[in-house]
Structure 1
Amino acid sequence: MGSSMNEELKASSSTWECVSLSEIKDKLAEFAEVRGWTQYHCPRNLLLALVGEVGELSEIFQWRGEVAKGLPDWSSDDKEHLEEELSDVLLYLVRLADVCGLDLGQAALAKITKNAMKYPVSAS
């Protein structure tokens, strides 16, 4: 999926708050289809690709120690690299959910509700 997919998605939306998981899902499905990649996008392959991307994301933080919120000491290049790796993780996660026939957005909202019941405010 890589940076060209990130650039295509960025070009279509001005801020991340405006992008829906459904929009990302549809763009990823189209991206894979026109390149003939759908045949390779089985759950196992997507999961392994996702794990690889999480590994690349982890490498960014591996030797930095604690990092301040907002990354004030990071260069713009470091932040861009982080943004790309986070995007890769998101893209593979959304694609995996789609290939598995799951609505990731609804599943995430349901999980937040479950967590709210499991960890009520009074227990904090």
Structure 2
Amino acid sequence: MTHDDLLKQLLAFRDARDWQQFHTLRNLIVSTTIEAGELLETVQWKTDADIDAMLRDPAQRRNVEHECADVLLYLMLVAHTAGFDLLDAAAEKLKLNGERYPVDKAKGVSTKYSRL
């Protein structure tokens, strides 16, 4: 499935339920943050080993997948409502991050770009 196909399905889902009236940019951004919090909750208080084990359980893995999908869907709605292409924005940001974190300075370290 392409990004455009998924966006069309998402907008059709929204429109069939007459939810666009609730989808102000502010509300969509708030909802994205709430969904990201729900994703975070899936790993709260867990060690890396606990998370690895959790992902081997099909039901728990599916829950993580669904929480990731919720974040993605809201991000798509944010971008659509704000009038930009999310994939273009992500590609631009990745390029910027490449400039901020050159391999020769950033490889193997977690230092913020402003301190490299």
**TM-score scaled by structure 2?**
0.81
Q: How much does 1:52 deviate?
A: 1.2
Q: Among 59, 62, 74, which residue is 1:77 paired with?
A: 59
Letter in 1 for 2:41: E
2:11 counterpart residue number: 29
Of 73-82 and 20-29, the range deviating more from structure 2: 20-29
**What is the aligned residue count?**
104
- State the identity as a percent: 34
1:86 counterpart residue number: 68
1:109/1:100 Cα in 2 relative to 1: closer, same or farther (>3 Å)? same
User: Where do 1:50-61 residues align within 5 Å?
Assistant: 50-61=32-43
Q: How much does 1:48 deviate?
A: 1.3
User: Where do 1:39-118 residues align within 5 Å?
Assistant: 39-67=21-49, 71=52, 73-74=53-54, 75-118=57-100
The answer on whether the counterparts of 1:57 and 1:86 sit within 8 Å (CA) in structure 2 is: yes
Paired residue secondary structure (2:84)? coil
1:23/1:60 Cα in 2 relative to 1: closer, same or farther (>3 Å)? same
Q: Which residues of structure 1 form unaligned runs of 5+? A: 1-18
Paired residue secondary structure (1:48)? helix
Paired residue secondary structure (2:11)? helix
Which structure: larger Rg? 2
Tell me: higher relative CO, structure 1 or 2? Use CA pairs within 8 A at least 6 residues apart: 1
Letter in 1 for 2:14: A
Runs of 4 or more off by more than 6 Å in structure 1? none
